[in-house]
Structure 1
Amino acid sequence: MINSAILPIPRTVLLLRDESYALPMRRRSTWGICILSLFVLLMPQVTGDENLLQLSVSITEPPHETYYTSEDVVMMDVDLLNHGPTVSLEHNPSCTLYLKIYYNSDLVRDDSNICRNQIQTKEISSGNMESLGSISWDLTDEDSNLVPSGTYQIQVWHGGTSLFEDVSVFLQTQKEIPDQLELWMNTTTKEENIVAFQPVVVSLSLHNPTDEVMILTDAACRISEFQNSQHDLLGSCFPQSLVLQPFEVRPILQKTYSFESGENTLEFTLGDDLISVFETYEIQNPESLGDKPPLQLELTNPIVDTTAMKLNGEVSLINDDIENVTVEFSDTCILESWLVGPLGNVVYDSISSKSCTQTMIQYSLEADGGVQPFPLSEVPLHMPNNCGIPSGEYTLILSMNALGLWESFSIELDQESGSPCNENIVIDYSIENNDNLANLVYTASTSHDNTFFWPQSCKIQLLDLTIPDEEIEYRTPCFDEQIIMYMPAGQTYSLQNFALEPSEGETLWNLNVIDNFPVEEANLVFYWPVPEITENLVEELSGSSTPELGSIQGSWQVLGTGEMSCWILSSVDDDSYAFNRAMIDNWEPIQNTEGTYNVEFTQKTTACAEFDVQSVIITEILDENHEVIVEDKPTQEITNVEVETTQETPDPMIILVSAATTGGLLGLVGFAVMTNESWRIPLTSGGLWFMGLLGRTKETTDGRYQRGRLMGYLTANPGCHFRALMHVLDMSNGQITHHLKILEDECRIWRFKDGRLVRYYPYTSDLHPGTDEANLPLPSLSPDKNSLQGKILSILELDSELNLHPTQSELAKRLEKSQQLISHHLRTLQKYGLIEKEKSGLKNRYKLTKEAVFLLDSTKF
């Protein structure tokens, strides 16, 4: 852009005949001319037409081809071109060139203040180009702070005129992202062996594996694609928002590729190599199809109907050749289609849902655009099991295999299609007393590794039914937008909650999650406010015989309650417990089965509502056998027969658990005991005893011994994580959980959450929860050589003896694990300085550090 010049001011001389008037007039004119001349001299000038002058700015190529990073400097060479006659140009020698930097039209840096008031004149010949030198920008603002990522406009100004020129640069300057953030890459193909020139759908997604909200900071971050030797800059790293919910999986890219024969590499990085994922493909040679005419497929008039959950349309076969073409098909399966979801999952494949009849079919297409239409068979917008699918970008592949033709089309679903089927998700409800408000918490959990989604329409519902015929409804969205989650087994997540002030006295709430996957509603009855507990009551409750928390030995009996059955676990201590649910795959109680179980105490289910007994969740089976009663003699003889605990898989269903913990479990028990005498020493018609929620765990010598072992090991190995402790001390999950909790309650140890691991430290003056993470001692090498990290270290140690350094992909194949899982553990091992990676061509290879070699040599690993 060139601005017009300031024109020279003409001077006028007056000749006057009246001498008496001429003298004073001459003096005034002289002074005026002097002042005006001084003003003109202070202004930059070009003698000639400035419109014919032009600044030319040549920017050096970015080191990363398409963008600059925080380590780079933008270098520019500047020339002045004269397209007109010879001109005399004034310039400022103190700042021949200076910069103005803009971001979204906002000025972030202005260097014009460096120019001093100096003027020099130089002559520029007609048609001449004169170099004005070079100028650079170090990617900082006026306060010398590094600017954030984004596209910036650089204005290069000439210091003596109003000439300037614009250039645009893209920066990726963010240096850090959350350590736990994972980048997933899924490859979807028609066949297991990828054939050259066939469609390969690659899907990228972000995953937050933690149970906490993850905040991202760089809205301008872009995805870089490296396909073999080609580099392209793609879309945003963080579409939608900069907040990742716990366990959220967010699709960020889906692209269809067609590779040539041989080895092909594909790598994606976010920003300035903040995180990357890499894949190598061995592409097979295709079968020869002969010369193919220039035909193409086109999807016309696609109709996406999420209400009817289907996609319809028409497909056109178009002839772009200059000659007429006749095509032949040997069966009725002329057109095939398959639909790929945002995470790379196959939603639909036509070849699996229809049969082909052998026949000969011919079509003639005229030259230069002849069209033969084909109806697109209805594509269902739901999973094969009729479960709904989330909104987002899908890829539809249409192919005519007989002609070797295929095309990919992007299909956008602006809302979910159908209802999700998250049959493994359990919704628990609990109440907390928060400043005299009842804080209702909805918690989702799963006993299986599970990928599912929460529709945008999902709502949490509460109905206050305390006053008859005066139903009060409260609703709140589950999330602000649709969320896809991957939740590992045993994890929990708290949804939005309500904070309400209930009416005094008995309160009845109906709880539900609506417009979502099927969830059984629950009625929650509690008393508000919770009565205070007394010492006498505590002593009275403590008198009941309660087994050690988390472990019960007993046998199973079933009691009928109308159309439902209530399973009762009768313990060897003559206490009874109602079965709520099991956190074990494919297991359920069997009549007369004896066993020892780790349990978690909870509230009763509807099936056992009429029995005054404590309810339990079975978390682990320590021992189990089946009692067979022999009745051919007057006296019963019981024979123990070992049976497998695996049962036939029941029909999928959602299990709902209701739990009221207002003011803590102690307050709830207090109210229950004081308002219902039968809860003190209950004896039901079935002879079932109720075990109170509050009781004293009997201390044993073995318990103190096990905790002594724990303390000794943690003192010698601070920072050891849960699984390693369980392995090295040979304890069960229930045992070690129980003893760790006691030690934590006694403030003898404390925990530190490190990604997916929970590490434990002895409580000392040097090690306490306030210790900075950087100062925590490096955890000892995991003693569990069978852990995945242990196997990785073993492979690297073995390969190092052969001077080999495997890639992430090679490790994943050898360990038969996904690259995403291997990537997570590699980053963890890097974080603790046990491995390092080095670039070898386009691949990252991994090897042990000196510290790891020392640890492996000095540890029984």
Structure 2
Amino acid sequence: MRGRESGSRLLIVGLAFILLAPLAISSASADSTDIELVISIDETTTGAAWYDGGETLSISISVKNSGATTQSIEYNPSCPVEIEILNSDEELFSSLREHRVCLQQRRAIDIPAGQTRNLDTFDWDWQNSSGAIINSGDVTLDFNFESGMATYTESIQFQRSPVLIEHLVLQVNTAPPISGGLDYLSGESVYSHISLTNSGSNSITIDTDEGCMVTIQVNTIESSNPPSMTDLDCGSGSTLGIGESLPLGWLVWDFTSEGEQLLSGQWSIEVATTGLIGLASTFDATLSIGEARPEAPAELAVSLIGDGGADGIITDADNIQVKTELINSAATPAELQFNSSCLVSIQLISEDGMITKDSRLNDICETEFSELKIDPTSQYTLDQRMWTMNAENSCELNDGSYLMVVTVPEYGITTEYLINYDGGDSGPVCLASMQDTSLADFRVIELLTNNPDTNQESITFQIRLENQIDLDIHWPQECRLTFTLQRIGESQPHQIWNEQCGESGGVMETIAAGNGIPFDPFTIEFGQLNQGTWSLFIETTGTPRFTTQLAHTWNPPVQLEEEQNSEDESESEATNGTIVKEDATPLSWMAEGSWQYVTTDVGGCWILIDVDGNEHAYSSTLIENWKPLPNHRGAYWVEDSTSTSTACANWLSHIVVVEVLGEAQVASTDSSIDTEVASETPVISIPAAAPTIIAVIASTGLLALIAGAVTQVEWIRLPATKYGLVLLGLVRKTKESGGEYQRGRIVAYIELHRGIHFRALLGALQMSNGQLTHHLSVLESDERVWRRKDGRKVRYYPASIDSRTADDDLPVPVLTPDPNSLQGKILQILDIHENEILNLSQKELSVKLETSQQLVSYHLKSLEDWGLVEKERVAMRYRYRLTDRALILLNSSNFPSLLDEA
């Protein structure tokens, strides 16, 4: 009995073992690492490296037994694997379960060693269950078999179907080969700047997703390569105004395709985008494989020193240095040999594909052998130099993106550095100022006088700028013209105002040859102005600057006797509304000379003989109680006259004296003057005196002259010069008319420039120091001029100004800028730095004044036009210094110094 029970038990155990053994084996296979997922994805239909929305993604899913024994597995046949699809932001976009119903099923299969079993296929149309299409960019596919028994991840590139945007243009600006030839050499790259431009009449929004990228495809006549994707995007979401451009960045291509070096020959490069249909630009590049250059055992690196803002943006205030280094990252020393003194060349490429700076133009290279050894894991500074963002013509470069290409020519190694420049915007002004304006004409046309000889008298005129060649004008402000109205003889303008306003400022305007610019008609009313000749000075506000002027004589109607009123009113009504056409040529000028009375067959005529010997017949004057007198010389403001007396008809020039600027009586030296007329005015002659000279006194005079030359104080130097020259006998008073003529010039000039400084007077009249000193002494003795000490300087005033006038009430020369204005500050800063070795440049002035170079350039041009500042070219830039005329202003007590304020 006991034996039977034992046998039954053994039978039961054996049967259980037989039934449970397969389950144990199956369980062991499920935990094995020998099961692998094999995922197969169809290639793109276009041959590109990315899939587009017009094709379906087909996936084949298999499992492989990579072990040495048969593996038995179970899986769900309705959904063999879990598939998760992630977008470029690593976010879950879709899964297999969104596209298929997964049933609760199980299936067991055996996979022999080394064999593969196909489990499923899956076709995806790039959408999720909501019908949304995944964004362009990287797409990640995660496969998971039986809760981690086997996993697999695949990344692909997807681009949505391209869209059409009308009037959007792809611009590719390619720089010439860096080597300077027509072909590219081995190791050189093609540098192109890519941008999008709106060529339409409305704004454009680039309506593509963020994954849209710029592509490049290279082809020859015989073969083509598949397109490849760059790292430049399409500017998705950006809006372009009319004519605006959107820079996408720099394309650097090294003549490789899919990592392989291309053969020599001509290649056609097509640049396009993945998301914008119809946008493509093609250019050619020829690769020439020349003599092989030695392989560089070190890497090239470039850095910029001096970025003041440390923000990656270079400004005109930054002092930049370009540092080029060779880096040896190996564990052994690197040895290099050079045969030229120029180890590095640097080129700067602008967005329009131009090489705007090239170090080879200024570097002096000589044949020179040198060796270089770089220790392991260290670097060596090969070159370090200052760098400015100025072109070869010294003008500032425009703002924008620049690619700096640094090359070691003897080894053919190159690196690039991206520069974003935000400067002072003075480049357009500088370039415009360098144009040839000799073929441009800025003039007044159609000058008309309205309602002449009435209280409503006015002038109407037009202005036109004509050009025979293309002309670029930079307009810094919204107004195009500046008018200055001033009465002849007055030192200050009556009114200064702007015209032709309402335009855009800070723009460059190109005027095609022959087109010109017409400016609107303008009207000047004279009813509220004083009697006299008025000049209107007109200048453009842009660069280059153009000026013109006109003059008009205004004589208010004279009040006649009461019995003549009715007649005058009728005449006024008759002339009211009439228009008289005038010549636009300026009518007035200053004449210097002496008067002579000449008797002709029909009478007498007063003649003004100017300093050049020209004769002008006197017609009339606008000055009460004045008339020409014999033996008188002076400076007069005159204007042309069309009417004259019969006695003066033989002279071509007839004048009306508008204002006496300065006049003096001189000794009579011409016996031909009519005695009857000459007797009207007594002649005052200046007797001559010749001092006796002895050797001792001459020696004393010489010592006084030397001492006066050494000192820098004018009020000491001038008397010393005068008496020294007198004692030496170099200056003698004479009765000849030449002395009085020169003194007449001096008086007239001082009358015109009241408060003039001695040195400025010396330069203006082109006299010697001793000659001017002598004549000033005589004029002071005759009380025709007087002087006053002003610090180290001496100023001269005419006798028409009371010598007891307080300093604060004394006039200063004209064209004195406001000391607190930017022009005044420029003059003062130039004066402070006058004795330095190098004068200040425009950029240095802008830094000290804490303003833009564009504004400083504008005011420097005005100061140059006024004769207060002059420039000289030193090296690559202009430097500015004061003129003698400016020194007059700065030494005036009415012009405070910045040093005094400090």
Structure-2-length-normalised TM-score: 0.41
TM-score (norm 1): 0.43
Q: Which has the larger radius of gyration?
A: 2
* Larger RCO (alpha carbons 8 Å, 6+ apart): 1
